[in-house]
């Protein structure tokens, strides 16, 4: 399988800020890849390098087999891009803006454009200056999805959208992915990434700190178990991989290293189980491992 995006050792500095400090990311063709990290981690800078908007000081990048700095024109024919904070031409209507943006890639598919305006509940007649942040975001999203692209680069695309529009957005990502397109989705909304992405790269301070499928990354974490069992609590507490065991209303509640799950479940079932709930580790827990007790959303406010 070829890779839609490859970047190795990207370095980018702004004055004294080292925005990218040897960042690596690989996105296979046809996959929906989550690009996760708190604000300031370097996601947008990476994306701007991949789009040829910024030149990396060091490292190598390739997008659809081309060099983004030298071949930006060719790349942009095949790439739909949605920035996190969309700036519009104040005097163009939403519809004109959509046509201008999709025109760079050969023009919108009229039926698709009409359907997207409907689904995103966007009035295309208003001038750019009259749109709220959420509506500006919708203009960029309709433009991105109104003509098929080989690669969708979406940088915090749903900031400012309400939950209904978030689900419209997710349906569009699933549609283009089913058609074989590649999607790079930068986000700090973990549930969005969890629902859409097969693989993720987690970035911190300009470097990728984890990369892999959600299943692989979950392997590094713990599953929470609540079980009503005849097994002896003290014996379970001493099993390999079991942490923080407590007794609550006749049930045992504990966490278990996901790679020790099988052994622990074996012991429980041998003793007899009447009820059992297992909660798989979330991406949120993965984040906590890397960012201490601060969630990425909170880091922004610090």
Inter-residue contact 145 to 172 (CB < 8 Å): yes
**CB 11 to ligand ADP: min, Å:** 12
**CB 7 to ligand ADP: min, Å:** 13
**CB 208 to ligand ADP: min, Å:** 12
23-52 residues in contact with ligand ADP (CB under 6 A) are 37, 39-45
**CB 155 to ligand ADP: min, Å:** 7
Contact region with ligand ADP (CB under 6 A), list: 12-20, 106-114, 236-244, 280-288: 12-20
- 14 vs 89, which CB is nearer to ligand ADP? 14
Cβ within 8 Å of residue 118, ≥6 positions away: none
**CB 25 to ligand ADP: min, Å:** 13
Counting contacts by CB under 6 A, is residue 17 touching ligand ADP?
yes
- 41 vs 108, which CB is nearer to ligand ADP? 41
- 63 vs 268, which CB is nearer to ligand ADP? 63
Q: Using DSSP bridges, classify how beta strands 58-63 and 251-257 pair: parallel, antiparallel or unpaired.
A: unpaired
SS (H, E, C) the chain: CCEEEEEEEEEEEECCEEEEEEEEEEEECCCEEEEECCCCCCHHHHHHHHCCCCCCCEEEEEECCECCCCCHHHHHHHEEEECCCCCCCCCCEHHHHHHHHHHCCCCCCHHHHHHHHHHCCCCCCCEHHHCCHHHHHHHHHHHHHCCCCCEEEEECCCCCCCHHHHHHHHHHHHHHHHCCCEEEEEECCHHHHHHHCCEEEEEECCEEEEEEEHHHHHCCCEEEEEEEECCCHHHHHCCCCEEEEEEECCEEEEEEEHHHHHHHHHHHHHHCEEEEEEECCCHHHHHHHHHCCCCHHHHCCC
- 84 vs 94, which CB is nearer to ligand ADP? 84
**CB 145 to ligand ADP: min, Å:** 22
How many residues bind ligand ADP (CB under 6 A)? The answer is 11
Angle at 271 between CA 264 and CA 246, to 5 degrees: 60
Residue bearing tokens 């960029």: 140
92-121 residues in contact with ligand ADP (CB under 6 A) are none
- 37 vs 281, which CB is nearer to ligand ADP? 37
Tokens, residue 266: 């074996």
Counting contacts by CB under 6 A, is residue 296 touching ligand ADP?
no
Out of 19, 49, 117, 200, the residue judged to bind ligand ADP by CB under 6 A? 19
**CB 207 to ligand ADP: min, Å:** 12
- 44 vs 62, which CB is nearer to ligand ADP? 44
- 45 vs 97, which CB is nearer to ligand ADP? 45
- 17 vs 274, which CB is nearer to ligand ADP? 17
**CB 119 to ligand ADP: min, Å:** 27
* Whole-angstrom distance, CA of residue 151 vs CA of residue 78: 6
From residue 197 to residue 216, what is the string marking binding to ligand ADP with x (rule CB under 6 A)? --------------------
Residues at the site binding ligand ADP, with contacts judged by CB under 6 A: 14, 17, 19, 37, 39-45
């Amino acid at each position: 399988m070829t890779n839609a995006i490859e970047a190795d050792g990207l370095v980018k500095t702004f004055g004294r800020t080292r925005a990218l400090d040897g960042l690596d990311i690989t996105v296979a063709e046809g996959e929906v890849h989550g690009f996760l990290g708190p604000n300031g981690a370097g996601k947008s800078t990476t994306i701007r390098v991949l789009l040829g908007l910024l030149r990396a000081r060091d490292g190598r990048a390739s997008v659809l087999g081309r060099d983004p700095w030298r071949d930006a024109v060719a790349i942009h024919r095949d790439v739909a891009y949605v920035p996190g904070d969309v700036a519009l031409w104040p005097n163009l209507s939403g519809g004109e803006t959509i046509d201008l943006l999709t025109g760079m890639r050969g023009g919108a598919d009229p039926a698709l454009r009409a359907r997207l305006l409907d689904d995103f509940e966007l009035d295309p007649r208003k001038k750019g200056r009259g749109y709220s942040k959420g509506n500006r975001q919708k203009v960029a999203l309709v433009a991105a999805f109104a003509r098929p692209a080989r690669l969708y680069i979406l940088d915090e695309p749903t900031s400012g959208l309400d939950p209904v529009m978030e689900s419209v957005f997710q349906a569009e990502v699933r549609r283009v992915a089913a058609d074989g397109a590649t999607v790079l989705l930068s986000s700090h909304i973990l549930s969005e990434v969890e629902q859409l992405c097969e693989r993720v790269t987690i970035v911190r301070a300009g470097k990728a700190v984890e990369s892999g499928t959600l299943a692989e990354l979950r392997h590094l974490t713990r599953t929470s178990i609540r079980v009503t069992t005849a097994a002896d609590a003290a014996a379970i507490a001493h099993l390999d991989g079991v942490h923080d065991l407590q007794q609550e209303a006749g049930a045992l509640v504990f966490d278990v290293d996901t790679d020790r799950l099988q052994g622990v479940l074996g012991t429980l079932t041998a003793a007899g189980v009447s009820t059992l709930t297992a909660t798989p580790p979330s991406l949120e827990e993965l984040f906590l491992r890397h960012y201490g007790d601060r969630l990425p959303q909170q880091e922004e406010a610090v």
